[in-house]
A and B are shown apart, each in its own frame.
Chain A
Amino acid sequence: MIAPPDDCLARNEWICGAYLSTRSEILTDAVVQHLQLTFVSVALGLVLALPLAVLARRRRWAAGPVLGVTTLLYTIPSLAMFSLLLPVYGLSAALVVAGLVLYSLTLLVRNILAGLRAVPEETRQAARGLGYGPLRLLLAVELPLALPAAMAGLRIATVSAVSLVTIGAIVGHGGLGNLIYSGMNTYFKAQVLTASVLCVLIAAAADLLLLGAQHLLTPWTRGRAA
């Protein structure tokens, strides 16, 4: 009779090097799926949030409904949000993306709008006095000045999205969440812990990356801090 292998996988330990080496392919696939879902959702959220925030800034009547609806959406728990989208998207990655877009929309619209509102009236008038049209005013003056607040929103939205992707496991498209879900069902401790830690690492890395991007995009804020 052959004795069962006595390694950390057989003993079902939390930390297990053998897990990393034997399942590296599964882990890589899950990380890639996780990153894709996060990136697509936040990018779509940004594309939708920008015009909404500008509309809410330019047209007074639009601010109430835009903020109201996005806040309402944000209150709906993630599992319920994904479930409500089930009839529309079925068991697909699109369902997870749609849910995450709706969440990041709230955070982004709120922060971009706060940034646009914080642009001093004198600055806007000075730009108008220099002959800036509404579009040029927006692109060359208001948006750059709103950038720090917008980036803060983008960082929160990205970090939240990384953590919410895991709930996508309910429809089989949860990136690392899939590994946590299957690890739970099979009582596989190393898989659950590894996937959880990777999730947190992805969130931290994304946050640092965006912080660096903000640093590069807003050189004028650096002089003041020095």
Chain B
Amino acid sequence: MNVLADAWSWLTTAAHWSGEDGVWNRLGEHLFLTVVSLAISCAIALPVALVLGHLGKGGALAVNLSNAGRAVPTFAVLVLLLLSPIGSYGDWPTIVALVLFAVPPLLTNAYVGVRGVDADVVRAARGMGMTGRQTLARVELPLAMPLILTGVRIAAVQLVATATVAALAGGGGLGRIITAGFNLASTPQVVAGACLVAVLALLVEGAFEGVQRLANTGGRGSGA
């Protein structure tokens, strides 16, 4: 339990929170990487998934991409990108790697969500004279929303985790506190950094779960 006490005293030392290597700065980097990557991945994956789901094409691709993504080590992709020509562009190798790993869950869940909409409902919409675009925007999209949000939640938690690993490949974020702790052979710092990362991941998961619950009850309320 000595280590926990040491980790606690590391966390409660004001000097560890300020400056470039401080917790606040690393947390800011972590959130920046996560938010930017999540926005880019949503912008790429969601339109593609919605259109593919609407047309009912490319299902095998959408599902297999998720499975393939799991087999590729995030660490390997981070290092490969770092050594590639884009490696010299600051945060970009990290962001590209993060986007690559956030796209599959977004794509798969949004695709499955749109495909899962009751065919009778879609037919009814068409019978009412809705165009394909209107059907997608007013019928399929709202009905697929729970699964789309699940995909966004999985992607966000995955991004927090991958952004941590990015520190191994020289990226910023809270993972840097952990890797610096390893380099200093300071177990308290390693444990303190790990606690910060774990708490952040759990908070992100919890926040998205809250959003999902709100969205679900909202849908039910307007339906009644």
Contact = CB atoms under 8 A, between A and B. Distances in A.
Nearest to A171: B182
Interface in B169-224: 169, 175, 178-179, 181-182, 187, 190-191, 193-195, 197-198, 201-202, 205
B103 interface: no
Interface stretch (B14-22, B55-63, B76-84, B128-136): B76-84
Interface stretch (A117-125, A133-141, A176-184): A176-184
B182 A203 contact: no
A85 to B, nearest CB: 9
A89 B136 CA distance: 53
A57 to B, nearest CB: 25
Contacts of B100: none
Contacts of B76: 166, 177, 180, 192, 195-196, 199
Contacts of B169: 184
Contact of A87 (B74, B168, B187): B187
Interface in B74-128: 74-77, 79-80, 82-83
Interface residues of A, number: 39
B149 interface: no
A200 B3 CA distance: 37
B55 to A, nearest CB: 28
B83 A169 contact: no
Given A79-B164, A180-B75, A204-B71, A187 B83 contact: yes
A100 interface: no
A155 B167 CA distance: 29
B157 interface: yes
A32 B73 CA distance: 17
| A interface, over-half SS | helix
Interface in A152-166: 156, 159-160, 162-164, 166
B62 to A, nearest CB: 17
Contact of A80 (B4, B71, B74, B178): B178
| B interface, over-half SS | helix
A193 B83 CA distance: 10
A192 B179 CA distance: 20
Contacts of B77: 196
Contact of B168 (A76, A80, A181): A181
B165 A167 contact: yes
B71 A203 contact: yes
A160 B3 CA distance: 30
B191 A84 contact: yes
Contacts of A170: 168, 178-179, 182
For A171, A184, A192, A193, the residue with the greatest tally of chain B CB atoms inside 10 Å of its CB is A184
A192 B73 contact: no
Contacts of A183: 79
Interface string A185-214: 001010011011001100110010000000
A78 interface: yes
Nearest to A204: B71
Nearest to B190: A83
A79 B201 contact: no
B71 A184 contact: no
Nearest to B76: A196
Contact of B83 (A160, A162, A189): A189
A21 to B, nearest CB: 22
B75 A86 contact: no
Contacts of B179: 170
A16 B80 CA distance: 15
B70 A159 contact: yes
Given A77-B197, A80-B164, A156-B70, A87 B191 contact: yes
24 contacts: A76-B198, A77-B161, A77-B198, A78-B161, A79-B197, A80-B197, A83-B190, A83-B194, A87-B187, A159-B67, A162-B71, A163-B72, A163-B74, A167-B73, A170-B179, A177-B73, A177-B76, A180-B73, A180-B76, A181-B79, A184-B83, A192-B80, A196-B76, A203-B72
Given A81-B198, A170-B178, A184-B82, 13 more contacts: A75-B198, A76-B197, A77-B198, A78-B164, A79-B164, A83-B191, A163-B72, A166-B75, A183-B79, A187-B83, A196-B77, A203-B71, A203-B72
